[in-house]
Structure formats: structure tokens, C-alpha cells
A and B are shown apart, each in its own frame.
Chain A
Amino acid sequence: EDQVTQSPEALRLQEGESSSLNCSYTVSGLRGLFWYRQDPGKGPEFLFTLYSAGEEKEKERLKATLTKKESFLHITAPKPEDSATYLCAVQARGSTLGRLYFGRGTQLTVWP
């Protein structure tokens, strides 16, 4: 069964303290892996799509990487405004409905 596991569930960082979030996945052929950011009371906001092992994407202080079994979201010198829940999702090859399998997220808090 296709599934996604994110760790840690929660992470507290001091401003400027770099770290990484993990997304492990099991899928019968990966069509794409997606990272989203979700603020309280809001819908998920799309960040990155990764398609194949070795691929990397960057946006400001965020960098997403992909291997055959997991993805990392690296946060460099985070700021308080980076506080949010980060969601990982995968889409399986062969799926005709485009379904995303979501992990439960990592709740990131960055304090000044």
C-alpha cells in the first residue's frame, strides 16, 4: 500500500538554527513528490515538486531533495515566519485519478 511517513511530528528551532524535515515514502512507482506549507486556519500552499532521485529544488531558505525512498526539506537559517506545518505528499505512477497520499506533517516552530 502506498504511504507517506513524516518525521519529526514537531520541531522547535531557534532563529538561525538550520535543520531538516524527513519524508519517507512507499509507492508503486513515483510520479511526483510534493511539499506543501500549511499555516493555521489556511489551506496547504504548494512549495515544490520533485520527480526523480537526485533532484533538488530551492526557494529562499528552503531546499528539497529526493532519493528513491525519502525526501528532505532543509531549512537554512530559519526565521519566525517559517513557522508552519510542512506536508509531504506522493503521487503514484499508474494512478488514473491523480490522488495525492499525504503524510501527517511536521509542525515547525521557529522562535526568536
Chain B
Amino acid sequence: IAGITQAPTSQILAAGRRMTLRCTQDMRHNAMYWYRQDLGLGLRLIHYSNTAGTTGKGEVPDGYSVSRANTDDFPLTLASAVPSQTSVYFCASSDFNLNRGNEQFFGPGTRLTVL
């Protein structure tokens, strides 16, 4: 069982370039999330999706977009990368239920550097 896979593992990108980070889960979870992790700031939610076909904005959505065409995939796109988007990006998924807390399972991360 792979759980959640992310690609690429790391990337160096020139400012202004477009980049898509890939995320795939095989747990058939309904909800998926993108976080960024920065030193001193912890994990912050970028975008989320509670079910295929729907997406929503998290805490820091500016400069990012997502799509959820099916249950398994949740790509994150940076339309025109800027240096402040240098970070480690984590994709997560959960079997989200409104009635009780649901743990999220994280992928291995993508380390992105924008120059």
C-alpha cells in the first residue's frame, strides 16, 4: 500500500515559471489537502477538497490553484512562481466525516526552491 505519493521530490524553479506538484492517494479518501511548511511558521493550509469535483481555499491560497477531477489525484499549480513560494509542500488525505475528528495522512513532501 503506497498511501500518498508526491512528485517531484524536489525542484528548483526560475521565478515566473509555471509548476504543477502532483499528489496521488490510493486509500479512497474523500478529502485531500495541500499544506506548505516553513521554518518558524509550521504547517499552513493552502487549498482543500472535501470530495471529487469540489475545492476550497485554505489559509494561504494566493498564487496557487488546485483541481480535483477524481478521487485519487489532487494537483497543485503555481501559475507564475515567486521566491516567497520557496517551501516544502505536503499533500494529505483523510476520510472526512462531519461528526468526528478525522486524522489526515501525509505524503513525503516536495521541496521547492524558486530563484
Contact = CB atoms under 8 A, between A and B. Distances in A.
B36 to A, nearest CB: 11
B100 A31 contact: yes
Contact of B101 (A41, A44, A49): A49
B109 A42 contact: yes
Interface in B74-115: 90, 94, 96, 98, 100-109
A89 B96 CA distance: 16
Nearest to B59: A99
A45 B105 CA distance: 7
Contacts, number: 68
Contact of B42 (A33, A46, A91, A105): A105
Interface in A17-51: 30-34, 36, 41-46, 49, 51
How large, as a class, is the contact surface on chain A? 20 to 34
A66 to B, nearest CB: 11
A104 B105 contact: no
A96 B101 contact: no
Nearest to B30: A98
Contact of B48 (A33, A41, A99, A102): A99
Contact of B43 (A41, A46, A96, A102): A102
21 contacts: A33-B101, A34-B101, A34-B103, A44-B43, A44-B106, A45-B106, A46-B103, A46-B106, A51-B100, A87-B43, A91-B101, A91-B102, A96-B50, A97-B58, A99-B33, A99-B59, A102-B42, A102-B43, A104-B41, A104-B42, A105-B42
